[in-house]
Amino acid sequence: MTVETLQAAARPGLRRLGILPLRVTPGRANLAIWAVAIACALAQLAVSASLSVTLYRIPLAAALLLSLVQAAAIVLALFAPAWATVLALIAGNALSGLAVAAPGQPWPIAASTIVAYVLVWIGVALRARWWLPGAGWALSVLFSVMVAVEATAVPDDGPVIANLVVFAAVTLGAVLVGFGIRNWSLLRAQLRTERAATAAELARREAVQDKARIARELHDVVAHGMSAIQVRAASARYRMPDLPAEAAAEFDEVAATARSAMKEMRVILGLLRDEEGGADHAPQPGLDDLPALVARANDLAPVAETGSWQLTPAERSDPLLGLTAYRVVQEGLSNVARHAPGAATQIDWTETPTERGIRIRNAAPTRAAAPRADDGGHGLRGMRERVEAMGGTVAAAVTGDGGYVLQVRIPREEEA
């Protein structure tokens, strides 16, 4: 069990005891806070003990003990404000009650006690809700007034009243200063949170705008072009009545391929235009769609398949595996149609205990490839990125007979 686990387990019990989690953790600035608190406590101990004995005639043992309690309250205010309040009230009121009034000396509250109260109330106000330092301040003033009223030998009422007024005003100012610092720190933390949320929202909006711009470009450039291809291919047999049956079937296949591409393009456009990511979209192609894909490719050139994958129910329902396999075969057959028209193609489905493979090999082209409008190259890169995201590999090479081979390996998930 780690230290953090022990601290988390002990935290509820500590809170019930009035001990809060340490916010003043190690660090240059925080160590300075600890150093100042300890230095103030030690100085308070020395000054209060000496003044109590010499000026107010308090017994040495009692002066040392009560001054030590005051010093402890200063440090406890950093992490146990309730205990700091109790100890400060006990020590302060006991010192006032034991002090002997002397002409020319502050009474019933000594100057060292006022300083101790100031330090404690600032610390308590920083760590606790407003009612704790407020109640502690009110009780300290009440007890001090009671000590002054019950005293039998008071040299003069004027200095006593002035002492009480100064004590009440200075300690109330300490409470208000603590409240101000606490509220300022809370406002700064809230401001940082709001700035972070604003920055995140701005980044999200920029991403949405980029996606919308890409969607517009895809729609304007690709979708319109595919729509024109589909319309011209579908209407070819009507625009050219003397068109041979084989050529008409070829145009129909082009139209079907264009419609399929437009359907997938609409899915992509919907994903790009969906700001919240919650829109419903058409299902992505998977393993069940492969026979139709191979059948369409077989109309252009002979395609043969060997082997199969033995999938578990979980693997068969895995959309990522099915989509990856579909895209691999789709890209492989598309490359054959573009670069090696008419070439025979062999698709081999292999599997071992550790991986599954797809091997697509085509022979040399039987006729020259049609000229291309661009250099291409994005399909293989996209396939590689898709497969590598599943931990697999993609290898492609030219064969000795002028053909081409594409080998994809996808690791199998270990059974639980």
Question: Which CATH number is 343's domain given?
Answer: 3.30.565.10
Q: What is the per-residue pLDDT across 383-413, written as a single tens digit (0 to 9) for each?
A: 888 888 888 899 988 888 888 999 999 988 7
195 and 305 belong to one structural domain:
no
31 and 162 belong to one structural domain:
yes
Give the residue numbers spanning the domain of 162. 23-199
Residue 197 has pLDDT above 80, yes or no: yes
Q: What is the per-residue pLDDT across 332-380, written as a single tens digit (0 to 9) for each?
A: 888 888 788 888 899 999 999 889 999 999 988 877 665 554 555 567 7
Instruction: Count how many domains the chain has.
Output: 2
Q: Domain boundary at 147, 177, 199, which?
A: 199
Confidence at 3, pLDDT banded by 50, 70, 90? very low
Residue 4 has pLDDT above 60, yes or no: no
Q: Domain boundary at 159, 180, 199, which?
A: 199
Confidence at 250, pLDDT banded by 50, 70, 90? confident
Residue 206 placed within a domain: no
52 and 165 belong to one structural domain:
yes
Q: Domain boundary at 148, 168, 199, which?
A: 199
pTM of the model: 0.50
- Return the closest-CA partner of residue 280 out of 267, 297, 299: 267
Residue 7 placed within a domain: no
Residue 34 has pLDDT above 50, yes or no: yes
Residue 215 placed within a domain: no
Of 219 and 291, which is predicted with more confidence?
291
